[in-house]
Amino acid sequence: MGVVGFGGRVLVVGAAGFVGSAVVGRLVGLGVGVRLLVHRVGVPVGLEGVEGVEVVWGDLGVVGSLRGVCEGVGVVLHLASRVGGGWEECRVVNVEGTRALLGEARRAGVGRVVQLGTAAVYRDGVHRGAVEGELEEGPVSAASVTRLEGERLVLGAGGTVLRPHLVFGQGDRWVVPSLVGLLGRLPFWVDGGRARMSMVSVDVLADVLVELALGGGVSGGVLHVGHPVPVSARELVGTVVGELGLVLPSGEVDVEGALAWLGGVGGGGADAGVRRLVSLLAVDHWYDSGRLWGSVGVSPGPRFSQAFGRYAEWYRQQL
């Protein structure tokens, strides 16, 4: 993995987040100068006073606060998004904030923009080994609709958008915690645990983002990122249950049965988040990442059942 071939810094937007903190640690370890755009929180833990680390205050939701953030920058890593709140709140950050950031990058002559996107922008349905450009985009939630709009702005500016499906590892506050919560309410396998899904560890994802930032891999367009071997729901649940000392499901229900159990007759009482989780355990959502892995010098590492163990203690402490 080489060092950036320009004199500028790497601007990391979302530096204190789940993925951003892992990315920053790698850039600092490589001796790359970084500028961290922080919002609400202070300097990320462990980076106070570190040589080569510059912190600026800014808010994607307040476009005026972004003025000048890209001066002297060679690459922008856009890793921030709004995933909660209503339509206007999400639009202000994910669309208008991205538009303003790209405007600053253009004015400063930034050569490369890499954004962390999401496979949630695809129309819901059965996804089996699709390559980039094959699936129809059609999200429905405020977060995913506005994130797609932001992605299109980045792509229109010649940037690269990386789309993972599920990300696990230290700092994960959604994937495994939500699964554990669901298992506490639903003691059955959903459709036998046969559904498969794309997953990637936060450390592998961070390695990929750094490689793309430093000039490696494909430049421009959408890239799927997930382990080459999709994870079955049975492998996912079995691994998490085994590592965290939980109770393995028994028996089997279909999707309708699961929703009925969770939300009453017809599943009407199950909220959108629960419905999404059940769908993830029952419907194939896996994507071909061959274009990415064929262009970067990063290893996807071991499959989920072998990789999860390194994070098990962290999850046990959190849960």
pLDDT recorded at residue 8:
74
b/e map of 229-250 (b: 16 or more CB within 10 Å)?
Answer: bbbbbbbbbebbbebbeeeebe
User: How high is the pLDDT of residue 1?
Assistant: 42
The 3-state DSSP class for residue 305 equals helix
Q: Which pLDDT value is given to residue 5?
A: 46
CA distance 38 to 33: 16
- What token pair was written down for 143? 């977060």
Residue 285 β-bridge partners:
127, 197
Question: What pLDDT digit, counting tens, does each position of 68-95 carry?
Answer: 999 999 999 999 999 988 999 999 999 9
Question: What is the dihedral sign for C-alpha 181, 260, 252, 229?
Answer: negative
pLDDT category at 35 given cuts 50, 70, 90 is very high
| For residues 187-214, average pLDDT | 97
- The reported pLDDT for the residue numbered 264 is 55
Pick from 40-54, 185-199, 227-241: least confident: 40-54
Per-residue pLDDT band at 6 (split at 50, 70, 90): very low
Identify the band that residue 3 occupies on the pLDDT scale cut at 50, 70 and 90. very low
Quick: pLDDT tens for 265-292.
444 556 777 888 899 899 999 999 999 9
**What global pTM score does this model have?**
0.94
Q: Can you spell out the DSSP letters for 148-171? A: HHHHHHHHHTT-EEEE-SEEESTT
Q: Does the pLDDT at position 4 exceed 50?
A: no
For the stretch 220-259, pLDDT in tens is 999 999 999 999 999 999 999 999 999 999 999 999 999 9
Q: Do residues 213 and 207 touch, judged by C-beta distance below 8 A?
A: no
Instruction: Say which DSSP state 137 is in.
Output: B
Show the domains of the chain with their CATH numbers: 9-163 (3.40.50.720)
